[in-house]
Amino acid sequence: MKRVCIDTHALIWYLSKPKRLGKGAARLLREVDRGRVTVLVPAIVGIELVLLRRDGRKTVGIPQLEALVTAQPGFTLFPLDLAQTRELALLESVDDPFDRMIIAAARSAGTGLVSADATIRESGLVDVVWE
């Protein structure tokens, strides 16, 4: 079965505004319902959701994330571990700490990343699924 990590905004759009997803991302995420893909949600994504809401952004929160991983077995939380920390140390060229940790999660899991982030895509540090 194919596995992929997802970044924060891709997860937000999947849950609240699916029409904003790129064609490739939408196609891949439909495969989750068919049991062909597992989506790993890095722990840092949950933290970023909390901080976005704290800053007044109207976005999905932890209750929606919990509901997703409870109702949809194809989505699973990916806890922070030593392998991700090791990858993080290698990614000094990535300035944004959340992007850096999400890339580290995908690299340590050996997966691609569902992301609309052009900076991540252009970095070449991880295979990105979007368009």
Q: What is the CATH number of the domain that holds 68?
A: 3.40.50.1010
Question: What pLDDT does residue 73 have?
Answer: 92
pLDDT digits (tens, 9 = 90+) for 22-36: 999 999 999 998 999
How far is residue 50's CA from residue 59's CA, in Å, rounded to a whole number? 9
Residue 1 has pLDDT above 80, yes or no: no
Number of domains in the chain: 1
Q: Is this prediction's pTM over 0.85? A: yes
| CA angle in degrees (0–180, nearest 5) for 89-91-94 | 130
Q: For a pLDDT cut of 90, what percent of the chain falls above it?
A: 88
Which pair of structure tokens corresponds to residue 22?
């790129």
**Domain range for residue 108?**
2-129
